[in-house]
Amino acid sequence: MDATEAMDEDEAYDFDERRRVLLESDATDALIAGKPGRETEVFVKGIAAEASESDVHAALRKCGAERGATGFELVTDRTTGTHRGYAFARYDSRESAANAVAAIAKAECEVKKMKITASVKPSKYRVMVTGLRKDATREEIVEALRSRGAGLEFFALSRPRSAKKNAENAVVESGDHNGGRGWASFYNEACAERFMKNMAANREEKLPVADDKDKRGLVCEFVGPRPQKKEIEIKTLHVTEMNEANATDQGLREAFERYGTILGTQIMEKDRTRGWVFYDSAESVEKALAECEPVEGAAEGDKGGAFISSVDGSTIKVMSSRKSYRSDAGNRGREPNSGRGGPSRGGGRDDWSKYRSGDSKYGGGLAPRGSWSGARQVNATPVILPTGQVAYAIGGGGGRGRDNRRNGRGRDNRHRPY
């Protein structure tokens, strides 16, 4: 197994110095010698009932999934002797196993006209160790853990919480060497399970790296493997420093549509020098950024730069953005949210023209409103005024409302707009 690959995989958990722990002496261990390492087995499922082992081998060979294979097991039912529709394929490295999974998915591999799927077999190989002495060094902890069984491949030690950084961003040394916990990664699941069994069997024997203040001693528990980081496709351009000629939907489309299909554009209402262009693919974003001149003083690795607009020849700034596209994100065709009392307002008064058609006695579809005043319900009848506005006349009546208690009668039928 390549040490560099494994270091990269556990990078998120290795807050301190990263080193390979697995020693050459472990190679002769019964659970390591000739045994597959972690994440080198592939689970294959969806195998047709009438398919034989040779049929599966032929399909894997055809799609290129047999490169690096060291073993294969078609799981069968002990009572019937027929296979259960799944198998396990072993490979010489994690890279070979991952390539086999990708090859099966890409080729849409079939066995007896039935599509099969594959995934790397998950294994419990990582153990979180808590209750460590905070002044214990990484070397002391590794030596203590190895006394409970061979196969410890990597050990990631958390930083002490009291560690601070100075002006040069360097960690200031403190009396603590760790944060009281760490993560042990073993060669395979069998080694990890042996370690856990030995820790449980020798619980009374306290390891020298255990914290004396913690009566539980070292606490070890399995943790899941680090989830793979999902690659996010960037399909959006963030455009800044636009002028009046660029800051339109048409201007943005004329400047950027030659790179791919544009799903929509959006310009900020408060600051019209900024906007977004939404593409249907990440390749379009890469093409647009490829024509940018680098911006002086920009952070290393930032995707973006100065872009010459084809609309008026002005210079605008372009960078990639993770802002997602929404069908109502553009400036065109978007109706403002409806206000209280009916449709959207325009020009300072309600536009009820589309509600005034029909034979309804309430003005073409307008209906009375109901509301509560005190302990009684009152109805409001809509009335269209000569100005085109809509008013609601409050109906009177008895009840136990506050007005009735005061003067013994219902409220008057005064005109009460809105």
Average pLDDT of the chain to the nearest whole number: 76
pLDDT, position 16? 39
Taking alpha carbons only, the member of 247, 280, 274 closest to residue 262 is 280
Strands (E), 333-397: 345-346, 349-350, 369-373, 376-384, 390-394
Count Cα neighbours of 40 within 13 Å in the Cβ-side half-sphere: 22
Going along the chain from its start, the domains and CATH numbers come out as: 3-22+124-161+176-223 (3.30.70.330), 39-120 (3.30.70.330), 236-321 (3.30.70.330), 350-416 (no CATH)
Q: Is the pLDDT of residue 246 over 90?
A: no
* φ, ψ dihedrals at 291, nearest 5°: -90, 0
Q: CB neighbours of 30 closer than 8 A, spacing ≥ 6?
A: none
What is the CA 366 to chain-centroid distance, rounded? 47
- The residue ranges of DSSP E strands in 136-212, in sequence order, are 152-157, 164-165, 171-172, 181-186
pLDDT tens digit sequence for 114-161 = 999 999 988 889 999 999 998 888 889 989 999 999 999 888 888 776
Q: What is the DSSP string of 274-331?
A: -EEEEESSHHHHHHHHHTPBPPTTPPTT--EEEEE-TTTS-EEEEEEE-PPP-TT-SS
What proportion of the chain, given as a percentage, has pLDDT over 70? 67
Cβ pair 316, 242 in contact under 8 A: yes
Give per-residue pLDDT as tens, 341-357: 444 444 444 444 444 44
Q: What is the pLDDT of residues 20-61, one digit of tens each?
A: 666 677 888 888 888 888 889 999 999 999 999 999 999 999
* pLDDT above 80 for 395: no
pLDDT at 63 over 70: yes
Tokens of 48: 């047709």
Residue among 120, 47, 123 at smallest CA distance from 89: 120
Give the pLDDT confidence score for residue 61 in this predicted structure: 92
Q: Residues 258-280: pLDDT tens digits?
A: 999 999 999 998 888 999 999 99
The answer to whether residues 6 and 186 touch, using CB atoms and an 8 Å cutoff, is no
Is the model's pLDDT at 403 over the cut of 80?
A: no
Question: Per-residue pLDDT for 194 more than 90?
Answer: yes
Token representation of residue 11: 């990078």
What's the confidence (pLDDT) of residue 308? Answer: 86
At residue 24, the pLDDT reads 72
